Amino acid sequence: MIINAKSPQTIPASRPTEKIILGVDPGTQVAGYGIISVQGGVMKMIQYGVVQLSKYTTYQLKLQKLHETMLRLIEEHKPDEMAIEDPFFGKNVQSMLKLGRAQGVVMAAALSRGIPIVEYAPRRVKQSVTGNGNATKDQVSHMVSQLLKEDLQPQFFDATDALAIAVCHHFHENALPTVSNKKTKKGAWGAFVSENSDRIA
């Protein structure tokens, strides 16, 4: 007697979890952003662009527009994490203050939506993407194009830099720095705070 047994049902393999990373290169004249998805270790570009702020007459208005744009991008793409360029010291104090304000409103937008933020020094981003911490913007843009398999427009260096920050974050996601264990680097806000604690309320 032949018994027709049912074939075991094939259980479909679960799809790897998709992660959305928003990379930001802040500025008060031009700010760049780049959004990538990572699924199964494969990176894909979702969107990249720049926020033109030079047309606004006051820094308050520039910061408002930058904050609004970041919130819009967050609401539209629902990133899981934000990667932002780490602040660095410069000789022009006013430029440093303006950059710090821009970074602050970008971070505030992410924090208001509960999105974790990780900072990367410019040299680390270049090293991660190109293997050379002194790479030019053109070299960074070219390498990001290769990694994402996209024909990026090289004139939008602020945007390709932001994509590079997002890519750098993906490469380092298994060893994320935290506020408690992040090493103080020369040129970072952490060094400034530690050396000028009496100036921070």
Of the candidates 51, 50, 47, 24, the residue with the CA atom closest to the CA atom of residue 36:
47
Q: Classify strands 81-85 and 117-120 as parallel, antiparallel or unpaired.
A: parallel
In a domain, residue 130? The reply is: yes
In a domain, residue 200? The reply is: no
- Tell me, what CATH number does 163's domain have? 3.30.420.10
In a domain, residue 93? The reply is: yes
Largest pairwise CA distance in the chain: 91
| Angle, CA 53 vertex, CA 82 and CA 134 arms, to 5° | 55
Distance CA 162, CA 46 (A): 13
161 given a catalytic annotation: no
86 given a catalytic annotation: no
Entry pTM:
0.78
* pLDDT tens column, 128-138: 999 999 999 99
Tell the residue number behind the tokens 């990379």, with chain if given.
23
85 given a catalytic annotation: yes
Q: Residue 32: enclosing H or E segment and its boundaries?
A: strand 30-39
* pLDDT tens column, 167-185: 999 998 754 443 333 333 3
Confidence of residue 196 (pLDDT cuts 50, 70, 90): very low
Domain of residue 61: give its range: 18-174+187-193
Tally of structural domains, the chain: 1
Annotated catalytic residue within 86, 119, 158, 161: 158
